[in-house]
Structure 1
Amino acid sequence: MHVLVVDDDVVSAEFLANTLVHFGYEVTVASNGREAFHLIRTGKYSIVVSDWEMPEMSGPELCRQIRCRQWSGYIFFILVTSYGAEHVVEGLKAGADDFLTKPFQPSELRVRLRTGERILSLQSRDVMLFTLAKLAESRDTDTGLHLERMREYCRVLAEELSTWDKYRDVVDGDYVQLMYLTSPLHDIGKVGIPDSVLLKPGPLTKEEFEIMKQHVTIGGETLAAATKAHPDAKFLTMARDIAFTHHERFDGTGYPFGLQGKQIPLCGRLTALSDVYDALRSQRVYKPKFSHEKARQIILDGMGTQFDPDVVEAFLRREEEVVRISETLDEPMLAAETRTETAPPEPALV
């Protein structure tokens, strides 16, 4: 990772640079804010460690200039100052992420840099997750804004459950955010389904439907392999569970494992309802777009059989918000040939 050190004092700049090199970073030194801004425009630096007082452009002003522009990735900015706490507010207003007060120990600098790395890695994680999901979606031309709506529905339902006493120790803010990030990966396994089946405009045969169902195990096993390699990555664990279980049914008649009730991870139960509702509210090659009222009734009819009753109740309590998401992220009706699925008993099964 490249770090840009900005300091007009040669001794201080050399100390910072040597310390960072010792920690394993690649380092470039700029002697003032203007020079630093020119270097930042190359797109090479994601972490900046800048002195406060400098000629031509101060550290806070450099930070303001950075925040005023759109960059391809986030730039983590650490201000180094000998001033007291009264200047922290000014630095925060400028957009600084962290501070170092002179004199400081190298170990303190290292902790600040690790914080920056974590924030930057989270950004990379979020981009990677949605990019993978869009890759899978790109093979299915009928899905439109499905992923955007899906993650919003999952977020709303998870937020509702977080207010219930029975889920308070399970669903917190971190869980809600992970649902929002990972639910778009539910159909990642469709990248492994042949075009002859995935894009078939006519009815699926029984054999073709069995092939279509394999997207669940393809996606789940792919993410399971990633989870095994990175067991501490909670987002991979949730993504794996969603991919494997979003077609399980509460009564145990779903696939691929025939899980029943609370054997199905909560993230899978939340995604299942969100996926079905969005499919019902969208035109597909095998069905017209249903009204909210009709989709709502189908959800209610599936309470306790296809869907977890708690998740249905959460859906009903946040119904207005769900409708608003559906309408806000709506899209023109897709001009597609109507197809009747021969195997699935409900429109969103695949």
Structure 2
Amino acid sequence: MDILIVDDDDISLDLLRYALEAHNFRVWSAANGAEALRVLESQNINLVVTDWEMPIVNGLEFCREVRRRQSDHYIYVILLTSHGARDEIVEGMAAGADDFIVKPFNPPELLARIQAGRRVLALETRDLVIFALARLAESRDTDTGQHLERVRLYARRLAEELAASSAFPEEIDAEFIRLVFQTSPLHDIGKVGIPDSVLLKPGKLTEEEFEVMKRHTIIGAETLDAALCQFPHARFLQVARDIAIGHHEKWNGFGYPYALMGQQIPLAARIVAIADVYDALTTRRVYKDAIPHDEAEAMIIAEAGEHFDPLIVAAFQRCSHEFVRISQRYANSHQPAVCTV
């Protein structure tokens, strides 16, 4: 496991390095928070031990910047500090620190807290399982390329934009944004239950075939409901279920499977609906050509208040230029998909 240690004192860095390398950790180092942020940009590191008092960017400022940035993986931060008062601990945790070690540190305590951080980070294995299940469902349709990567990045960007505008202050927080990113790949998991004759048909579906296709929303929700029965307090399962059942509902009530209207449709599903439709419009499929971004944007804007939530369409308009960047970076190819977990 790679660990980044951050301290402006060379002796402290040497002591930390010695304690960690003795237990086979690979150690990176930085002299201040600004330097540490540059290391995180170039290396896949998800555990940091940082001093509080440093020049340029101190430990608190470093924590705030780490939490402000939307990384594809969680970064666990242990704050190494001489500040041990309760109000200072509260200040550090509010800035985004996960744990504290008071100087001078005790090596066994440092290792124990590192192991606690590793247990927390192990929960990200859940993300890998979610994405693997989604890819399994998608593997039956070889024409979708990097659809999952793009949709979840579009959905996260929309959720971030909505958070910045305070459009849904009681619903959207950092956890909600992360859960939408994590679980949106499961939006079409119910397609595992759709016959190949319908799912892989190159032409337009008949009315009867379309009724069969629409059942993928219910199949997906039922699959996730079974998991929710076992883990009823798992919020990520609830968000995934909301997306699976609701991403084909329409704001005006003419969607499926239940013809929900307006805010009856779960917010996560309303967000993923725009991400999913944009991707469908702007990528080539066996039965259609891709259309340019400007045309897709105009079509989505025209559907505000009809197909889509007007507030989410407005957020899409504000950040649609970033959809172009995502689309170009994750364009379909015959190469293996880029892992963004």
Give the CA RMSD over aligned residues.
3.5
Q: Please give the alpha-carbon distance, in whole angstroms, between the structure 2 residues aligned to 1:112 and 1:264.
A: 42
| 60 and 154 in structure 1: CA distance in 2 versus 1, 3 angstrom threshold | same
Q: Please give the alpha-carbon distance, in whole angstroms, between the structure 1 residues aligned to 2:244 and 2:125.
A: 21
**Where do 1:14-29 residues align within 5 Å?**
none
Q: Post-superposition shift, 1:226?
A: 0.8
Alignment partner for residue 59 of structure 1, among 12, 16, 19?
19
Q: Post-superposition shift, 1:166?
A: 3.6
| Counterpart check, 1:154 vs 2:155 | yes
Residue matched to 1:117: 119
Equivalent pair of 1:98/1:112 in contact (CA under 8 Å):
no
Residue matched to 2:301: 300
Q: Please give the alpha-carbon distance, in whole angstroms, between the structure 1 residues aligned to 2:305 and 2:182.
A: 27
Residue matched to 1:234: 235
2:258 aligned counterpart, secondary structure: coil
After superposition, the C-alpha distances for 1:97-134 in whole angstroms (9 at most, x for unaligned) are 876965989xx99887555423212x211111111111
**Where do 1:80-159 residues align within 5 Å?**
115-121=117-123, 123-159=124-160
1:183 aligned partner, one-letter code: S
After superposition, the C-alpha distances for 1:12-57 in whole angstroms (9 at most, x for unaligned) are xxxxxxxxxxxxxxxxxxxxxxxxxxxx9xxxxxxxxxxx9xxxx9
2:211 aligned partner, one-letter code: E
Residue matched to 1:276: 277
Q: Please give the alpha-carbon distance, in whole angstroms, between the structure 1 residues aligned to 2:163 and 2:114.
A: 32
Q: Please give the alpha-carbon distance, in whole angstroms, between the structure 1 residues aligned to 2:209 and 2:200.
A: 11
2:205 aligned partner, one-letter code: L
Equivalent pair of 2:283/2:289 in contact (CA under 8 Å):
yes
Question: For the pair shown, which has the larger CA radius of gyration, 1 or 2?
Answer: 1
1:285 aligned counterpart, secondary structure: coil
Residue matched to 1:181: 182
Residue matched to 1:216: 217
Q: Post-superposition shift, 1:266?
A: 0.6
Equivalent pair of 2:190/2:216 in contact (CA under 8 Å):
yes
Residue matched to 1:93: none
Q: Please give the alpha-carbon distance, in whole angstroms, between the structure 2 residues aligned to 1:144 and 1:77.
A: 35
Q: Post-superposition shift, 1:198?
A: 0.8
| Counterpart check, 1:204 vs 2:205 | yes
Residue matched to 1:163: 164
After superposition, the C-alpha distances for 1:142-164 in whole angstroms (9 at most, x for unaligned) are 10010010011001100000012
| 131 and 296 in structure 1: CA distance in 2 versus 1, 3 angstrom threshold | same
Residue matched to 2:5: none
Q: Please give the alpha-carbon distance, in whole angstroms, between the structure 1 residues aligned to 2:157 and 2:326.
A: 10
Q: Post-superposition shift, 1:330?
A: 1.5
Residue matched to 1:331: 332
Q: Please give the alpha-carbon distance, in whole angstroms, between the structure 1 residues aligned to 2:25 and 2:220.
A: 43
2:127 aligned counterpart, secondary structure: helix
Residue matched to 1:31: none
2:21 aligned partner, one-letter code: E
**Percentage identity across aligned positions?**
47
1:318 aligned counterpart, secondary structure: helix
Q: Post-superposition shift, 1:209?
A: 1.1
1:120 aligned partner, one-letter code: A
Equivalent pair of 1:63/1:77 in contact (CA under 8 Å):
no
Q: Post-superposition shift, 1:236?
A: 0.5
1:229 aligned partner, one-letter code: Q
Taking structure 2 as the reference length, the TM-score comes to: 0.68
| 110 and 216 in structure 1: CA distance in 2 versus 1, 3 angstrom threshold | same
2:296 aligned counterpart, secondary structure: helix
1:182 aligned partner, one-letter code: T
Equivalent pair of 1:77/1:98 in contact (CA under 8 Å):
no
1:156 aligned partner, one-letter code: R
Gaps in structure 2 of 5+ consecutive residues: 2-11, 29-43, 50-79, 83-98, 335-341
Q: Post-superposition shift, 1:190?
A: 0.6
Equivalent pair of 2:190/2:219 in contact (CA under 8 Å):
yes
